[in-house]
């Protein structure tokens, strides 16, 4: 996959994420997807395979009334990409022991993407 194809695939994935379009997100992913979310150096969520990822994506979508990921910088090579991500979301629900619904969360982090057969095969989010 060349850099332009990788960039376009990542942009489609993020646009679908921002639109709460889970089917659109899944359309960019390889069936054997490996997903990891790391926060503060700890693994907080993981999924092996597209159906396990669907479950996480559906759960995550319910938590937010609004959300947006923005690519601040994108570095590409022949096998992978790393994006600096700005994130902003407004909670739809009270989090147990955490902030109440309506709270706006703003974070920055990185997302690493790996590719196989013209799709995203690996995502590692770190914040």
Tens digit of each residue's pLDDT (9 = 90 or more) over 3-57: 899 999 999 999 999 999 999 999 999 999 999 999 999 999 999 999 999 999 9
Rounded to whole angstroms, the Cα distance separating 71 from 56 reads 22
pLDDT single digits (tens) 86-114: 999 999 999 888 899 999 999 999 999 99
Rounded to whole angstroms, the Cα distance separating 20 from 55 reads 13
Q: Which residue range forms the structural domain that includes residue 102?
A: 3-126
C-alpha atoms less than 13 angstroms from C-alpha of 26 in its C-beta half-sphere: 14
Band of residue 79 on the pLDDT scale cut at 50, 70, 90: confident
Contact 66, 90 (CB under 8 A): yes
pTM for this prediction: 0.93
Structural domain count of the chain: 1
Q: What CATH number does residue 109 fall under? A: 3.10.450.50
Rounded to whole angstroms, the Cα distance separating 108 from 84 reads 7
Q: What's the gap between Cα 29 and its chain centre?
A: 11
Is 78's pLDDT higher than 80?
no
């Amino acid at each position: 996959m060349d850099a332009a194809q990788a960039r376009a695939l990542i942009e489609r994935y993020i646009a679908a994420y921002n639109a709460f379009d889970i089917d659109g997100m899944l359309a960019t992913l390889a069936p054997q997807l490996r997903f990891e979310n790391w926060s503060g150096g700890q693994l907080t969520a993981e999924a092996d395979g597209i159906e396990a990822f669907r479950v996480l994506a559906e759960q995550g979508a319910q938590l937010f009334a609004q959300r947006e990921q923005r690519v601040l910088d994108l570095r590409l090579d022949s096998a992978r990409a790393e994006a600096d991500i700005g994130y902003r979301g407004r909670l739809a629900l009270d989090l147990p022991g955490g902030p109440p619904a309506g709270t706006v969360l703003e974070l920055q982090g990185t997302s690493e993407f790996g590719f196989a057969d013209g799709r995203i095969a690996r995502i590692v989010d770190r914040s």
